[in-house]
Amino acid sequence: MTSLLEVKNIEVAYGKIVAVKDVSLTVNEGEIVTLIGSNGAGKSTTLRTISGLLKPKSGEITFKGDRIDGTPGHEIVGLGICHAPEGRRIFQRMSVRENLELGAFLRNDKAGVDSDMDRVLDLFPRLKERIEQRAGTMSGGEQQMLAVSRALMGSPKLLLLDEPSMGLAPVLVEMIFDTISKIRQQGTTILLIEQNAMAALEVADRAYVLESGKVKLSGKAADLRKNDEITKAYLGH
């Protein structure tokens, strides 16, 4: 498989607090890779560093063979990495349509933008029904759909998803994960952070388990689902 993203031995700190310690991971083209672990394990920090919101103290990040660590976030988007952050971070006073259009703000291919608008509205028909509605008046599930769709409007080669099922009812969680699989089938590679470890391992090809800022385990998702340590710690068995 062709490597799309490589993270090599990164260390990331908030002041004197080291949140990520010597983390390495690889995401190949066409994969869904998931990072699982408890709160404070360094998962979101890792994603924020890949997307250019944080700069690593040491280590390297390469995307399609080129170094990107330290590259500003807006340039990272232009390279083809789009991030749907934890907490959704939608523009609440803007309409659904305006939020989606902002996701494509770096693009100048109008036909492609129009095509992707149709694509995300097909993926999430509820957004189509609410296209002119103010985003802040929608339910939490609808706002999560919008956050994922806004990231897709950047036409990413790599989609970073941070806790897409957080706070959602079980029926919506199932729908979100079904849609994540569809997004991969349509050609987008995905790096996923998810507290719902079982759901993440069911949809992913490979997984990394983070603990206290370090990679504790990694391997095929199907194998990790059968790992006694993982099932006890993260799957509640």
Q: Categorize the per-residue pLDDT at 87 as very low, low, confident or very high, splitting at 50, 70 and 90.
A: low
**Extents of the domains making up the chain:** 1-79+194-237
Measure the CA–CA gap between 146 and 84, rounded to whole angstroms.
9
Q: What's the confidence (pLDDT) of residue 55?
A: 93
Q: Which CATH class is domain 1-79+194-237?
A: alpha beta
Sort 28 into a burial class: Cβ within 10 Å, 0-12 / 13-18 / 19+: middle
What integer best gives the mean pLDDT of the chain?
89
Between 6-20, 134-148, 221-235, the lowest mean confidence (pLDDT) is in 221-235
Q: Categorize the per-residue pLDDT at 44 as very low, low, confident or very high, splitting at 50, 70 and 90.
A: very high
Indicate whether 5 pLDDT > 80.
yes
pTM equals: 0.90
Write out the two tokens for 120: 């995300």
DSSP, collapsed to helix, strand or coil, labels residue 12 as strand
Q: What is the pLDDT of residues 145-196, one digit of tens each?
A: 899 899 999 899 999 999 888 777 788 888 889 889 999 998 999 999 988 8
